[in-house]
Amino acid sequence: MSQPLPSPDTLPPWPMPPASVHPALHLVGDSTMADKRTPLSYPERGWGQLFRTLLREPARLVNHAANGRSTKRFVDEGRWAHLLTQLAPGDFVLVQFGHNDQKDDDPLRYAPAATVFKDHLRRFVRDARERGATPWLATPVTRRSFEAGGRLVETLGDYPEAMREVAREQDVALLDLHERTRAWVRSLGPEASKAMFMWIAPGTNSHLPQGRQDNTHFVEAGALAVAKLAAALMREQRLPVADWLT
């Protein structure tokens, strides 16, 4: 049985430091975006972690994304309130959720796409704007899920489209990472795409002696590829952060 979430007042301080340079880019999302606070020999990486390597001034990026979070859990734990204390006028906030919001067997995380999920996204947009920051939305990255015939299967239901709808409604820029990552994974195909995800052969990593077959989370090569897709979308839309890229 899931344990109740701790009160935000009792949570330990988050390990990420506040932005030391402004304007800053704040990333908000789940494990596919998050910094991995694990030994370097552990292979999992989030694309936000690798996006930092594409910036001329890496200190401008503050990655608030965290493993296992949905929009609901991010708010309920006080993580969104914490982020707001870090914002300065002129900052940017990029929000990507969906993977955990869809988990309807977990009441601590489940946020129906048409209602609670959208309401949280609207709140993120409103709160950021009220503090003089610019919010952007990103559709959730795809999972690597192929049918026997080699067709890439959709696993994220209504969440990518719900993100698009809120972006249109709120007139905010959208990075359609779902569309771009689907095209990328499809182009690689069922076999080559394994090298981008946490497909770890038994006996090749001391942290995972039995190996792992994980179609959601990236190794460094995959995380870097997604970071570059995000950078390309920023350039295409001429978002201000594009000028920060190497």
Residue 1 lies in a domain: no
Specify the range with the lowest mean pLDDT, choosing from 1-10, 29-38, 70-79, 145-154.
1-10
3-state secondary structure of 40: coil
Give the tens place of pLDDT for each residue, 5-30. 433 333 445 556 677 789 999 999 99
Q: Tens digits of per-residue pLDDT, 71-117?
A: 999 999 999 999 999 999 999 999 999 999 999 999 999 999 999 99
pLDDT mean over 55-74: 96
Q: Is 223 inside any structural domain?
A: yes
Q: Residue 148 belongs to a domain with what CATH number?
A: 3.40.50.1110
Whether 13 maps to a domain, the answer reads no
Number of domains in the chain: 1
Identity (one letter) of the amino acid at 200?
I
pLDDT per position as a tens digit, 204-222: 999 999 999 999 999 999 9
Q: Which long-range contacts (CB under 8 A, 24 or more apart) does 147-156 make?
A: 150/189, 150/190, 152/182, 152/185, 152/186, 156/98, 156/99, 156/102
Residue 135 lies in a domain: yes
Residue 10 is predicted with a pLDDT of: 38
Three-state secondary structure string covering 11-24: CCCCCCCCCCCCCC
Kind and range of the H or E run holding 126? helix 118-130
User: Residue 246: inside a domain, yes or no?
Assistant: no
Tens digit of pLDDT for each residue in 173-206?
Answer: 999 999 999 999 999 999 999 999 999 999 999 9
Residue 174 phi, psi dihedral angles, 5° rounding: -125, 130
Task: Give how far Cα 24 sits from Cα of 64, 92, 93, Å.
Answer: 12, 6, 8
pTM of the predicted model as reported, rounded to 2 decimal places: 0.93
Q: Which of 142, 40, 125, 141 is nearest to 80 (CA)?
A: 125
In a domain, 94, yes or no: yes
Evaluated on CA atoms 140, 144, 150, 154, the torsion sign reads negative
For residues 225 and 228, what is the distance between their CA atoms, to the nearest angstrom? 5
Tokens 């709160």 map to which residue? 127
Does the residue 8 lie in any domain?
no
pLDDT for 19 equals 77
pLDDT at 16: 61
Closest alpha carbon to 156 in 177, 184, 125, 135: 177
Residue 11 counted as domain residue: no
Domain span at residue 80 reads 20-241
